[in-house]
Amino acid sequence: NAGVTQTPKFQVLKTGQSMTLQCAQDMNHNSMYWYRQDPGMGLRLIYYSASEGTTDKGEVPNGYNVSRLNKREFSLRLESAAPSQTSVYFCASSEVLIDSADQPQHFGDGTRLSIL
Amino acid sequence: QKEVEQDPGPLSVPEGAIVSLNCTYSNSAFQYFMWYRQYSRKGPELLMYTYSSGNKEDGRFTAQVDKSSKYISLFIRDSQPSDSATYLCAMRVPYNNNDMRFGAGTRLTVKP
């Protein structure tokens, strides 16, 4: 019962390098999300996808792009990494866009990204 | 000023104690209020979900929302070492996923 799987778990990049974070869910959920978590800041929504074929900006989209490859997969790309993008990145999925008590968001275990 | 304020702690209590975790917020449009639990090196998991003002109880956990004061609380009764985690409050404007905001989290340790 994998749930939400994120790869890689850890990555170190140099400034200016590009990278794609992968996320896959096996719960047949329609909606998927990318968050970043920084000390003292809480989780902040980067992008979300309400359903296959659609993506929308969240609170902090600058410097990122996303692709909803199919219903299962939602990737996050850093085109030119900057030290300010050092963070823990979480992918989540839910049955519907507006999560509720019986249809909550399910989170992966995160990708820890350091940019030097 | 952040939209959601949460004391980061850390908070350390003995096993069996009652724990009180709190968040304040500034956006009066928030109507959905959530508490997530996050164990070390793991993703958050939804613990409690409430809509508008009032109390909601689930086992040892009680979530309380006071919209007039823009203040929400999570109470944990008979705390256990397995409750040791970071607790995040979150809140959302209805029908707008873009307007979900999380607190920074309070780290709780329950000592045996």
Using CA atoms, how far residue B80 sits from B20, B107, B110, in Å, is: 14, 14, 6
**DSSP letter string, B24-59:** EE--TT--EEEEEEE-TTS--EEEEEEESSEEEEET
Please give the DSSP secondary-structure letter assigned to residue A61.
-
Contact by Cβ (8 Å): A62, A78: no
Is the CB of A43 inside 8 Å of chain B's CB atoms?
Answer: yes
Task: Tell me whether residues B97 and A48 touch, CB distance under 8 A.
Answer: yes
Per-residue pLDDT of A77-112, as tens digits, reads: 999 999 999 999 999 998 876 656 557 889 999 999
Residue B8 has pLDDT above 60, yes or no: yes
Which run of H or of E encompasses B85?
strand B85-92
Closest partner CB to B43 (pick from A45, A97, A109):
A109
Task: Tell me whether residues B102 and A110 touch, CB distance under 8 A.
Answer: no
Task: Tell me whether residues A98 and B97 touch, CB distance under 8 A.
Answer: yes
Region B28-37: what's the mean pLDDT? Answer: 91
Nearest chain B residue to A106 by CA distance is: B45
Q: Output the CA torsion B18→B79→B4→A100 (10° steps).
A: -120
Is the CB of B82 inside 8 Å of chain A's CB atoms?
Answer: no
| CA pair distance B35, B38, nearest whole angstrom | 10
Closest partner CB to A43 (pick from B45, B88, B94):
B88
Is the CB of B88 inside 8 Å of chain A's CB atoms?
Answer: yes
Unique residue bearing structure tokens 């909803």: A68
Average per-residue pLDDT for chain B = 91
Is the CB of A110 inside 8 Å of chain B's CB atoms?
Answer: yes
Average per-residue pLDDT for chain A = 92
Is the CB of A21 inside 8 Å of chain B's CB atoms?
Answer: no
Per-residue pLDDT of A11-65, as tens digits, reads: 999 999 999 999 999 999 999 999 999 988 889 999 999 888 899 998 899 999 9
Task: Tell me whether residues A56 and B100 touch, CB distance under 8 A.
Answer: no
